[in-house]
Amino acid sequence: MFGRKTKSTIDSLIGVSTAIKGDVGFKGGLRIDGQINGNINAESGQPSVLVISEHAKVVGEVHAAHLIVNGEIIGDVHSSELLELQPKARITGNVYYKALEMHGGALVSGKLSHDQVSETPLLKLAASAEA
C-alpha cells in the first residue's frame, strides 16, 4: 500500500505571485505556489496529483486523489487515495483520507476521518437451520 507510489506528473502551475478568487478545477497534476480563495476540485474518477507548496495558501475545500501539502489550507480536505502532510503543512478544517502520511511538524486543526471504502469484507454469521 505505501511502497507503491504512482508516478506524478505536474501539468499546470499556479505561480507564487498569482492570486485566484474563484473555484479551480483540474485533471492530471497541478502545483500551487500562490494563493487561491475558492474550492479546488480534481476531475472525479481520474488519477490526479495536487501539490500545495510551502508558499501556497488555499481558502476553500480541496478534493484530489493524491494530495501533497506543505503549505496552508483553510477548509475541508478530501483525498481519495494518498494524503501526504509534509513538515510545514497547516490545515484548519476536517480531513478525509484513504491513506495518510504525516511528517513531524505538520499540523491539523480539525477532525481526521479515515475513508473506509469497503476494503474489509462484511462478515455475516450463518443462521442456524434448527428452530
pLDDT of residue 127: 61
Contacts of 124 (CB under 8 A, 6+ apart): none
In the sheet where 19-21 sits, what is the strand order?
19-21, 35-37, 57-59, 72-74, 90-92, 107-109
Across the chain, what does the average pLDDT equal? 88
The pLDDT score that the predictor gives to residue 75 is: 97
**Which residues, at least 6 apart from 69, have a Cβ–Cβ distance to it below 8 Å?**
52, 77, 83, 84, 85, 86, 89, 91, 106
Report the pLDDT value the prediction gives residue 39, as an integer from 0 to 100.
97
Average of per-residue pLDDT across 95-121: 85
Q: What is the DSSP letter of 54?
A: T
Q: Given 3-state DSSP classes, what are the helix, strand and coil percentages for the chain, each rounded to the nearest 5?
A: 0, 50, 50
What pLDDT, in 10s, does the model give residues 14-57?
A: 999 999 999 999 999 999 999 999 999 999 888 999 999 999 99
Which cell goes with 127? 443462521
Residue-level pLDDT at 1: 45
Q: What is the pTM of this model?
A: 0.81
Over residues 88-99, the pLDDT tens digits come to 999 999 999 999
Is pLDDT above 60 for 6?
A: no
- pLDDT(4) > 50: no
Q: What is the rounded CA–CA span in Å between residue 19 and residue 21?
A: 7
State the cell numbers at 64.
484530489
